[in-house]
Amino acid sequence: MTPPRRTKKPVPDGPPAIAEPAATTPLSDVVDIYSTELFLNRELTWLEFNRRVLREAEDERTPLLERVKFTAIVSGNLDEFFMKRIGGLKQQVGAGIQNLTVDGRTPRQQIEECYAVVRELGERKRQVFGEILTLLRPAGIHILGYSELTSRERKELRSYYVRNIFPLVTPQSIDPAHPFPFISNLSLNLLVTLRYPREREVSLARVKVPVGAGIPRFLQVGEKDRFVPLEEVMQHNLDLLFPEMEVAACEFFRVTRNSNTERNEEQADDLLAMIESELQDRRFAPIVRLEVAAGMGPVHRGMLAAELELNEAADVFEVEGMLALRDLFEIAGLGYPELRDPPHHPVDHPRLMTDRNIFHVIRDAGSILLQHPYDSFATSVERFLYEASEDPKVRAIKMTLYRTAIDSRIIDCLVNAAGNGKQVAVAVELKARFDEAANIRLAERMEEAGIHVTYGVVGLKTHCKVILVVRQDYDGLRRYVHIGTGNYHPGTARIYSDLGLLTSDDTIGEDATELFNYLTTGYTPRRNYRKLLPAPKHLKKALLAKIQREAEHHSEENPGLIQFQMNALEDADIVAALYSAARRGVQVDLIIRDSCRLRPGVPGLSETVRVISVVGRFLEHARIYYFRNGGAEEYYIGSADAMKRNLEYRVEVLAPVEAPELRKEIRTIIDVHLYDRRSAWDMQPDGTCRQRVPGEGDDPRGSHEILIALAEKRHKAGTRLKKKKARGHVRRNTR
């Protein structure tokens, strides 16, 4: 198989304030809107987001198993933070880079400040996990130490271990005759100190805990929900591995490796082969963090740090209690409905509660706004693709693919379409972080089915979420388009809060055609977009122009208003433009999930700016851009955050939402978030956040609960309308 080439382009009161470089001038007196004092640090505000997530684990209002889930989320987030962000900063330090960020920090300063926050988060995480363990017991869920088991339970557990896990365990000696063993990323390990009876000399062995591939971290004891961590079972059955030897000590440790192993793709002849090589590099990438269980001896701790080439004082994190709490997802998934949020079942969109061809629905009744996970992904996006694959009038399907499930129905539909003789083209992003291997397999499967697979544009990640369907309608070819804020992934569509637009708008269809021509050729000359705002060519310029226009239109009689909802606000030029607009008096509302460089509420600078963050049962993932524009309002949705990487180094798309009824839906979403008194946090000028507290008469529900209720209300209204139409149809046919 010859792979296609990537085309070339010509806490409330709790958390400490984020540390700031010394400022000599009050912020309100700073004239230069690019001055370092005016910008918060990306890494530190991202860690602040994890404080908010951890607060959900601490909050007694959160159901108990949801608290377990949030504890696991924070642990997984911090793992990724070290792999991606700390790994990248360490590479800069190693290369001698001293360049300052826009907030005035060197790479080394950022690492040191991040480490201080991570250690504080680790202590809070340990405390909340201990509280949760105590609360789980009366509910019937026990995470036990091996010493808490009866002799009978130990015997049963040993028997299970011997039958189902022990054959997978491989001890490795650590001595002059054996090189220090390879330690895989995020693996949990036992460091075992051994000696022969009646001998003083000791030896060391490393044993990997084989979690994954069907092996759980928590082994069930008996028929009730009583669990013991696998590493403790292994620790107390080491005689199976080392018969006739004495175990002098058994200590736990875990490593995290750098995931930044990207190569220069412009020099690659075969991008697929290059990505496969990068994945191999990542396996052996430098280690950036060593976690050790409390009590590890200083000699062993120093030995591990030296062998792993780490700074013992800085890069070694001692953990009281269990390591790798991300595995608590196993416990969070136990079937106790009374310990969870009320069940949520996505509903059919009211406009799609019909057996009519979906393309007729879109063409006749106009564009449709999808709200996931409230609206069903299966009966909207997947249905759109399925009907496109089966409809004999559909001539072509073009799609971008960043992340999806390996067994996704999305891929099945595309393969089916190709089998039905339709032209199918897919732009696959091979460099989607941590999904590279899956995307390589999907690309190969699609190619084998006759699908035209491309890998986007050299030097740019294809991050936009677009489907273009070309159909032979009665009056000629017509384009039908889906543009979304989230991935075409049925799993994340159930837990991420996202938006999507289904439309047959002629101009958007023409723009989407231009976009796919760019993705498959890389050529940029004379590509004109009349409605879509694509990055990297147009989007940033357009956003800056719209922010400036809002400032120019602002007056007491006609006040300006800018409202953004996104994952992160990081681009310095966008932040500076918002400062300029705020100084002119424009009201700026920012709903930012995690990183935010802008300081809100600074007198004379950003006192008309408020930044809120919503943390709840779903992960906020939608991107919305709103401009009042002197009364000629503009609403955009799409894939792009206001980050330098998205605006300058990725292919992104924002689409206008023009139908009044759809704008009303987006207005509701924005307002629900802005007035949330349960799950919203207000950012302070120093970058910390304060959680809102419901007052008397306030709705005690969070944004997600309110939006669930609104979706169910829309669904019920749609059901009534469908029944009413059905009765009318019956009456007409019986006259």
- Three-state DSSP at 589 gives strand
Q: How far is Cα 574 from Cα 541, in angstroms, rounded to an integer?
A: 10
Write b or e for each residue in 669-701: b if 16 or more Cβ atoms lie within 10 A of its Cβ, otherwise e.
Answer: bbebbbebbbbbbbbebebbbebbeeeeeeeeb
What Cα–Cα distance (Å) separates residue 358 from each residue in 60, 225, 480, 661? 45, 46, 10, 19
Token match 């269980």: residue?
Answer: 293
Q: Are the CB atoms for 160 and 221 separated by under 8 Å?
A: no
Token match 């490593």: residue?
Answer: 255
Q: Which residues contact 255 (CB under 8 A, 6 or more apart)?
A: 183, 185, 186, 187, 189, 287, 289, 290, 291, 308
Residue tagged active-site, from 236, 372, 463, 673? 463
Element (H, E) at 389: helix 383-390
Q: How far is Cα 495 from Cα 391, in angstroms, rounded to an integer?
A: 30
The shares of helix, strand and coil residues in the chain, as percent rounded to the nearest 5, are: 40, 20, 35
What Cα–Cα distance (Å) separates residue 449 from each residue in 337, 381, 606? 43, 22, 55
Write b or e for each residue in 380-397: b if 16 or more Cβ atoms lie within 10 A of its Cβ, otherwise e.
Answer: bbbbbbbbbbebeebebb
Sequence letter at residue 216: P
Based on the residue annotation, tell me whether 463 is a catalytic residue of this protein: yes
Q: How far is Cα 156 from Cα 149, in angstroms, rounded to an integer?
A: 10
Q: How far is Cα 594 from Cα 598, in angstroms, rounded to an integer?
A: 12
Alpha-carbon dihedral sign for residues 100, 103, 104, 108: negative
- Cis amide leading into 63 (omega within 30): no
| Closest C-alpha among 282, 288, 369, 292 to residue 324 | 292
Q: How far is Cα 556 from Cα 546, in angstroms, rounded to an integer?
A: 19
Q: How far is Cα 536 from Cα 645, in angstroms, rounded to an integer?
A: 9
Q: Are the CB atoms for 640 and 522 separated by under 8 Å?
A: no
DSSP state of 368: E
Q: How far is Cα 58 from Cα 613, in angstroms, rounded to an integer?
A: 17
Q: How far is Cα 613 from Cα 591, in angstroms, rounded to an integer?
A: 6
The total of other beta-carbon atoms located within 10 Å of residue 309's CB is 9
N- to C-terminal Cα separation, the chain: 64
| Closest C-alpha among 481, 519, 521, 522 to residue 500 | 481
Residues belonging to the active site? 463
